[in-house]
Amino acid sequence: MTRVGIVAKANAPAAVVAGLLKWLGARGVAVVVEKETGTLVPSATVPVATKAELPGIVDLIVVLGGDGTLLSMAREVGDLGVPLLGINVGGLGFLTATTLEEMFPAVEGALAGRMAVDDRMMLRAHVVRNGAAFGDYIALNDAVITKSAMSRIINLSVSVESQFATAYRADGLIISTPTGSTAYCLSAGGPIVSPGMDALVLIPIASHTLTNRPIVLPGTHRIEVTLDTDQEVMLTLDGQVGVPLREKDVVAVQKAAPRIRLLRFPQKDFFNVLRTKLKWGER
């Protein structure tokens, strides 16, 4: 790795960004800073690039923020395969599990090829309106169809591999990757799924039918959700990109071709993160 990109959340400590720039510069590593991140360190004399441009010109991206910052960067990376190293300067931090105290050893390990690489599947969601493609999106965590704050329960019809599966009367529906199983999926009562699995999880939100339960499907399956309600409904990707839906719109969701590479310390495996972040298994 010869060139490192740095992207930080808007309110990340400027001293942290400046310290990383100084550390990399002292080791002769070329650095490109994301344009908005550059405003945190206006005195820095390094190249800048937009978030969309950054993955195409670096070999590694260090993300200083929380999971939201990493999710937004993952969608920009797409199929370019640039690894992401998340440093947690946010909240819970499932994807950005490396702490600030571990930042320099982690970056050093990444440059030396000593970090473990988690290969994560992504979702592709596209909207079909009146039989024509309306929008195409990717997500690392989830695609969520949900009613607005003032809307009533919505009706959704779900087909799997072109076969009718079920209908939901609920506040919405989450279609999650294994990575997203510890995000909105978990808070809605879904299962924790090992992130290396090739699977999709469907979780109704506040279902009006007691027999509707989360279901785990093969990652190779294509899911089509038809909106059977004429009211305000949104499709959201990773909780960050919103698309208003109309009655009879079809949201088709399947595994995306791109995969995301997340770097971590070898000792910080999935179960370690569950125990640390969720206090999993504690009495």
Query: Which domain CATH number covers 230?
Result: 2.60.200.30
The domain tally of the chain equals: 2
pLDDT at 283: 65
In a domain, 244, yes or no: yes
Report the alpha-carbon distance of residue 117 to residue 18 in Å, rounded: 26
Cβ pair 179, 104 in contact under 8 A: no
Among the options 59, 67, 238, 249, which is catalytic? 67
Domain identity same for 154 and 213: yes
Pairing mode, strands 233-237 and 142-147: antiparallel
67 annotated active-site: yes
Amino acid (1-letter code) at residue 132: A
pLDDT at 97: 85
Cβ pair 83, 107 in contact under 8 A: no
Can you say whether the dihedral through the CA atoms of 205, 146, 154, 254 is positive or negative?
Answer: negative
Domain identity same for 106 and 182: no
pLDDT at 209: 85
Q: Tell me the CB-side half-sphere exposure of residue 257, using CA atoms within 13 A.
A: 2
Domain identity same for 179 and 94: no
DSSP at 98 = B
In degrees, to the nearest 5, what angle opens at C-alpha 243 toward C-alphas 80 and 191?
70
In a domain, 94, yes or no: yes
Q: What is the pLDDT of residues 59-69, one digit of tens each?
A: 999 999 999 99
Q: Print the domain residue range for 199.
A: 122-257
Per-residue pLDDT of the chain (283 residues; tens, 9 = 90+): 789 999 999 999 999 999 999 999 999 999 999 999 999 999 999 999 999 999 999 999 999 999 999 999 999 999 999 999 999 997 778 889 899 999 999 999 999 999 999 999 999 999 999 999 999 999 999 999 999 877 789 999 999 999 999 999 999 999 999 999 999 999 999 999 999 999 999 999 999 888 889 999 999 999 999 999 999 999 999 999 999 999 999 999 999 999 999 999 999 889 988 888 888 888 6
Computed over every residue of the chain, the mean pLDDT equals: 94
Token couple for 133: 């493609």
Domain identity same for 106 and 129: no
Of 221, 125, 219, nearest to 178 by C-alpha is 219
pLDDT at 52: 95
Question: What is the CB neighbour count within 10 angstroms for residue 8?
Answer: 26
Buried b (16+ CB within 10 A) or exposed e, 9-22: beebeeebbeebbe
In a domain, 52, yes or no: yes
Tell the residue number behind the tokens 């030396």, with chain if given: 112
pLDDT at 204: 96
C-alpha 130: how far from its chain's center? 29
Tell the residue number behind the tokens 């909240």, with chain if given: 91
Report the alpha-carbon distance of residue 88 to residue 131 in Å, rounded: 43
Domain identity same for 68 and 103: yes
Helix (H) or strand (E) holding 273: helix 270-278
Domain identity same for 191 and 230: yes
DSSP at 67 = H
